[in-house]
Structure 1
């Protein structure tokens, strides 16, 4: 099976000039850095590294507390952080690190993954969430480099996909040195797929750093408006959000809907949709001032979502009205927001179940549901006890993960 996988990888490489050209044009690749995916770097590395890899923003944000702790560890010379998306690279760029360097994850082809490992010399490879790359794992195993999966997540859907190639899956998953799944479901699936050393450490996304102070810029933006925040929105979700805004504004005339799209390259498309519905729209990147007639403010910049969670009381979390599986709601929860979500949250089922039990979230299925909740919860503010409970869970999870990772340093 590795042979056929490698054929697919080589085929991708052959067509990669066209693929990357298109992706650069539509904003999904960085023209100045895309060669990193071919292991072409501007610097030379001579240090052994502790390597972390996460797909995008959510995964990278979840392990930043671990990286910040490891940067203070005298045993750690250098930390390598890789990801695959431009959005994650933009977020990392804003953080001041002492020992950590970010590069893009290479194309998962045998030669390139070997070249990557020779160049960066990882002492341990730590993959986040569900990042399983066959060629990379095969070559890590060959070089006797420990492979750790932290905040591991295998859903029923992904488990069934791996079962289509049982021998291939077993060879890959049995190579994992240690798995730290985020829940019991993932632990069960990882065990069935062949991982031998498994310990539940908990979901890293329960841990949140101290609040960001709302800067004067954001305070000036909102003034006396009532904020309905919509986070990590995907295609087709802005349609319902716009209709809800129009309907609710009849009774809450100073309503301002803040949309934080999951992918900012969709901003122009979102603006066109909203304007076609006769809504007055301003984007954050334009730096235009909000007026009384502004209906929707689109936060199309990276790394600022938390600022908007701190000024809102109610947040719809996207990826949940479409069959995407939902997005992490814990950051807006820490901003004291009541959470609205759609029926498709299977990627974060455990988290949403907790929020429902704490009575700080509601599932919606229709436009009327959304409108009713906006009117009812626009001034919501949950108790400190709830925040304290989530914070305590997060601290335990972080401690558990640090304890296990430290064994490999």
Structure 2
């Protein structure tokens, strides 16, 4: 199976110039930095000990930044390397002023590039975030006897079933992990079944995120327009959920004449279909991309651009998280709750059930099943906004998780440098 994986990677390499070219045209790649993916570094490796973090994109990056800020205080750590795979995450990184930390793009997962990357950066320990499992570089990390940590690990049932379907291959991959810190109970059990040698519970790092507000500034005109309105937001919606939200708006508007419903679909290629559906209900719909100067008679404000979701969480104290009624698995509710929003969610949140269970207990999240219960919940929250003290409880949990994680990483790092 590993041989087949290498064939797929080789084919990717053959077509990579073409892939990179089209990604640059679509502004998904940095034309000045794409060579980093082929192990041509743009930053220098300074002498001394280095911790390497790898996360896929923006979410993973933001989840570790508070931790990185803490680790920079460790005088034994000379440099911290963060790799990601997306342009958006690289742009976010630029907004921070780190003393020891540099960013590079993650290399293509071939044996050759894995050796080249590790020979240049020579990490003291390697830390991969959430679901980042890369067979080639894991293998070479193990060969070089570099401790490999899976931090804030997240494995869904679907992912677990795929790995179990190739059991021999999965064993060869997961045995390279020295220690894993799962973000929930489900992942803890899956990692044990995947034969990770050491699995330790701490909690979800995303409970502590003091960085989101840096990227949530909305246009002043928009903020002025929504100021007199009652606003609620439906985020990461999937097919069938937009019409539920629109019907909820109709019911609520009988009581709240100045109501504004913001809908942020998970996939914006569906926007034209959503517009047709909602217009059939005789509602006034405005697209975010049209940059409207006034929203006087607007019922539905449809966000048809990527990368701006978090901005809208601050405009509403009430957020319905999609992929939970007509979808399957749910979406991460911690982004809106970290910004002070109360979350409503449907019955299908298997991918985040531990998180929703805790938020429900803290009275920050409430379950709904359809138009009727969604309408009732929003009405109640408009009339009686959630107690802000509840959000301080999240901050307290998050701080505890951050401190425990910092202590664990410092311990792993210090144990390793004692060997050298």
What TM-score range do you get, normalising by the shorter chain? 0.7 to 0.9
Aligned equivalent of 1:296: 301
* Cα deviation code 1:67-124 (max 9, x no counterpart): 1112232222222112223333333233333322222222212112222222332221
Aligned equivalent of 2:416: none
1:38·1:107 contact (CA, 8 Å) conserved in 2? Answer: yes
Mapping of residues 217-256 of structure 1, within 5 Å: 217=220, 219-233=223-237, 237-246=241-250, 248-256=252-260
Aligned equivalent of 2:357: 353
Q: Using the TM superposition, give the Cα deviation of residue 159 of structure 1 relative to its aligned residue in structure 2, in angstroms.
A: 1.9
Matched residue SS, 1:257: strand
Mapping of residues 33-182 of structure 1, within 5 Å: 33-47=33-47, 49-182=50-183
Q: Distance in 2 between matches of 1:286 and 1:38?
A: 39
Match of 2:403 among 382, 399, 403: 399
Q: Using the TM superposition, give the Cα deviation of residue 319 of structure 1 relative to its aligned residue in structure 2, in angstroms.
A: 3.5
Matched residue SS, 1:353: helix
Aligned equivalent of 1:201: 202
User: Would you say 1:6 and 2:6 are equivalent positions?
Assistant: yes
Q: Distance in 2 between matches of 1:359 and 1:245?
A: 23
Q: Using the TM superposition, give the Cα deviation of residue 132 of structure 1 relative to its aligned residue in structure 2, in angstroms.
A: 0.9
Aligned equivalent of 1:314: 318
* Cα deviation code 1:181-224 (max 9, x no counterpart): 22333222212212112211111122232884997936424221
Aligned equivalent of 1:280: 285
Match of 1:328 among 318, 328, 332: 332
Number of residue pairs aligned between Structure 1 and Structure 2:
404
Structure 1 runs not aligned, ≥5 long: none
Greater displacement, 97-106 / 164-173: 97-106
Greater displacement, 97-106 / 358-367: 358-367
Aligned equivalent of 2:343: 339
Q: Distance in 2 between matches of 1:370 and 1:54?
A: 35
Q: Using the TM superposition, give the Cα deviation of residue 172 of structure 1 relative to its aligned residue in structure 2, in angstroms.
A: 1.6
1:261·1:300 contact (CA, 8 Å) conserved in 2? Answer: no
Greater displacement, 20-29 / 147-156: 20-29
TM-score between the two structures when normalised by the length of structure 2: 0.84
Q: Distance in 2 between matches of 1:63 and 1:277?
A: 39
Distance change (3 Å), C-alpha of 1:313 and 1:344: same
TM-score between the two structures when normalised by the length of structure 1: 0.86
Q: Distance in 2 between matches of 1:328 and 1:41?
A: 33
Structure 2 runs not aligned, ≥5 long: 414-420
1:54·1:127 contact (CA, 8 Å) conserved in 2? Answer: yes
Greater displacement, 164-173 / 43-52: 43-52
Q: Using the TM superposition, give the Cα deviation of residue 274 of structure 1 relative to its aligned residue in structure 2, in angstroms.
A: 2.9
* Cα deviation code 1:137-180 (max 9, x no counterpart): 00111111110111112233222211112222122211111111
Q: Distance in 2 between matches of 1:18 and 1:234?
A: 32
Distance change (3 Å), C-alpha of 1:226 and 1:127: same
Q: Distance in 2 between matches of 1:235 and 1:78?
A: 46
Match of 2:393 among 389, 394, 400: 389
Aligned equivalent of 2:417: none
Computed over aligned residues only, the root mean square deviation of the Cα atoms, in angstroms, reads: 3.0
Aligned equivalent of 2:192: 191
Q: Using the TM superposition, give the Cα deviation of residue 314 of structure 1 relative to its aligned residue in structure 2, in angstroms.
A: 0.8
2:57·2:86 contact (CA, 8 Å) conserved in 1? Answer: yes
Greater displacement, 233-242 / 362-371: 233-242
2:261·2:301 contact (CA, 8 Å) conserved in 1? Answer: yes
